[in-house]
Amino acid sequence: MTKTLTCISPIDGSVYLERPVLDRAAADAAVAAARAAQPAWAARPLAERVALVRAAVAEIGKDTDRMATELAHQMGRPVRYGGEFGGFEERASYMADIAAEALAPLVIEESDAFLRKIAREPHGLVFVVAPWNYPWMTAINTVAPALIAGNSVILKHATQTLQVGERLAEAFHAVGVPEEVFQNVFLDHGTTSALIAARSFDFVNFTGSVRGGQEMERAAAGTFTPVATELGGKDPGYVRADADLDAAVDGLLDGAFFNSGQCCCGIERIYVHESLYDAFVEKAVAEVRKMTLGNPLDRDTTIGPMAHVRFAAEVRAQIDEAVAAGATAHVETFPADDGGAYLTPQVLTGVSHEMRVMRDESFGPVVGIMPVRDDDEAVRLMNDSQFGLTAAIFTRDAAAAEAIGARLETGTVFMNRCDYLDPALCWTGCKDTGRGAGLSVLGYHALTRPKSYHLKKG
């Protein structure tokens, strides 16, 4: 009996998509085809590969309404936000813009006697395992530069967003990228692990849970296949005494609740200087109470359901445990809260780091807020986490933000903003957030290997 992957729509719990998975023989055939096609792809001029990636991005941009509607059905993001094309295009375009410089050889000497240089060689076959929460943008982070660098790519998308992988493949093939060079596949966990263990891929890029990242590394153990991971987060925000209070509330609440809190770098805990604490909490609660929870296909909806009932159940459990331990929940249950995927956004005070809601990844519409005395206490609490993806500091003092940032165990430091990925900067993390280097010049370095030439002339 053929095994299938099933996408359950969070809108109403119905089956939205089903796709049969590849068996091992079919998966091996896909890998073989990708490997066979890669040398010819890498031999094409860089400018040609760049042009094809740009054309595929433009192809996807022809129907952003479809993108928004399909995302609403698959993972619950309200259509009012228009899908992901803006960030998708920004990231792909930037990587196309810098390709020639980023992939150029580093020439040490070019003289009558010697040519000494370090070139960048594509790995060969890159395996991209993409998540459901920002399914277009997270996939293109690796797909675009991997193809531009001369790799062939096999994409495995999350079950919750099966359709995104199909749409990406359709667009790239429509503009002339060979079908063997970029493939979207449906795989179960067992076949995925077996392929990695068999050295089917030359580079693995995984975005997802800590447990998933551990499974990827275990599968690759002993193969020497590089595995790049971008895993969980528990990103903090800090509001200093000199911050613009309204800007801090607006920025941090957007970071905490956009996409129903289902953001890798979403704000999950906020530390506010005690002089601003009461005012911050009052404004934050008032703003959250204005949100409209509902069907993501309704343009009046500002916060949709979580992507799956089981994700909402974990957030509810963290909230209930915190309240039982003495925390205060400030937002009354919304009418649309059904006890399932539709979950009331919540602000908690009276929280501590003994509570899971301030320690474990929530990945949902809840944020805990704590007062702090000074920068030192804020830094201690911000670092008191197994994760390290981003941290946001709201202040009028850039020098202070930089000094605080130097003390933080994180991949990115923001000042007066949060929850944004700048494609010119390296997207990376530390601790249980994993190890990787996405986008920027370093993204190309990750997707290629150095090759040295020492040529003695004559």
Judge whether 404 and 389 are in contact, CB under 8 Å.
Answer: no
427 in a domain, yes or no?
no
* 428 in any annotated domain: no
Residues 221, 287 within the same domain = no
- Residue 221 to residue 261: CA distance in whole angstroms: 33
Catalytically active residues, by annotation: 230, 264
In a domain, 168, yes or no: yes
Q: Is the same domain home to 225 and 267?
A: no
> Taking Cα atoms as reference points, which of 448, 418, 413 lies closest to residue 429?
413
The CATH number linked to 159 is 3.40.605.10
Cα(344)–Cα(330) distance, rounded to whole angstroms? 11
Give tens-digit pLDDT for 381-429. Answer: 999 999 999 999 999 999 999 999 999 999 999 999 998 999 999 999 9
Which domain range does residue 40 map to? 4-231+434-456
How far is Cα 238 from Cα 235, in angstroms, rounded to an integer?
10
Q: Are residues 209 and 283 in the same domain?
A: no
* Domains held by the chain: number: 2
The answer on 211 and 356 residing in a single domain is: no
Q: Do 222 and 277 lie in a common domain? A: no
In DSSP notation, 75-87 reads H---GGG-TTHHH
Could you tell me if residue 353 is inside a domain? Answer: yes
185-234 pLDDT per residue, tens: 999 999 999 999 999 999 999 999 999 999 999 999 999 999 999 999 99
| 445 within domain boundaries | yes
User: Could you give the C-alpha distances from 97 to 56, 251, 344, in angstroms and in order?
Assistant: 15, 29, 42
Note the pTM of the prediction, 2 decimals: 0.97
**CATH number of the domain residue 325 falls in:** 3.40.309.10
Tens of pLDDT, residue by residue over 77-111, are 999 999 999 999 999 999 999 999 999 999 999 99
DSSP collapsed to 3 states, 321-373: HHHHCCCEECCCCCCCCCCCCCCCCEEEECCCCCCHHHCCCCCCCEEEEEEEC
CA distance 42 to 99: 14
**pLDDT averaged over every residue in the chain:** 98
Residue 1 has pLDDT above 80, yes or no: no
Interstrand relation of 125-130 and 114-122 (parallel, antiparallel or unpaired): unpaired
The structure tokens listed for 112 are: 């009558």
CA 312 distance to own-chain centroid = 19
Nearest to 58 by CA among 145, 172, 150: 172
List of residues 6+ apart from 59 with CB closer than 8 A: 171, 174, 175
